[in-house]
Structure 1
């Protein structure tokens, strides 16, 4: 995933540590895990809807939302994208 995931994770962590007024990310942290899970579910539904009848660009847009919400959830759990990469390596032996 490269630097984009690392950069986005750094922004998410900063929003968690010092929530700026008006930050959507800070709002997700304030609302808690249930709201994060709700948003993840909504975004997955949007991916499915896009995949069934919209453009490839729309699918990519919605998948980016899924990744963002996943990163916020991982941060809330004290995990990182590296945790996911480690699991994928374990599964696929690379």
Structure 2
């Protein structure tokens, strides 16, 4: 029973840490919507619109793929951080919250990927 409690506590700690980090980042990204594009990379990205955001996500996705192909573990982590960052930019741009994605992942947890996919509308 102790092992289960410790495991659940670790999961909760990871979830809170990840959720807190994503929430804090999303809050900053929301603030950047009203920032001067001359002084903020994110404000500039927002000012250039959806196509610029999607292009950046595509670039970061390609960089993740290339890092993985090269087997460069450090670069993989770096590029995935860039990809997550830019997908958060997209979420905020669309008026969505990171918690919505986390909730979706939680709904899928413990369900076979094949079953989950078959049950999609």
Fold-level match, TM-score > 0.5? yes
The higher relative CO (CA closer than 8 Å, separation ≥ 6) is in: 1
- Unaligned segments of structure 2, at least 5 residues: 1-17, 112-121
Match of 2:88 among 67, 71, 85: 71
**Highest CA radius of gyration, 1 or 2?**
2
Q: Counterparts of 1:1-94 in structure 2 under 5 Å?
A: 1-16=18-33, 18-20=34-36, 21-92=38-109
Indicate the SS of the match to 1:78.
Answer: coil
Q: Which runs of 4+ in 1 moved over 4 A?
A: none
Shift of the alpha carbon at 1:2? Answer: 3.5
- Unaligned segments of structure 1, at least 5 residues: none
Shift of the alpha carbon at 1:92? Answer: 2.1
TM-score, normalised with respect to structure 2:
0.71
CA RMSD of aligned residues (A): 1.6
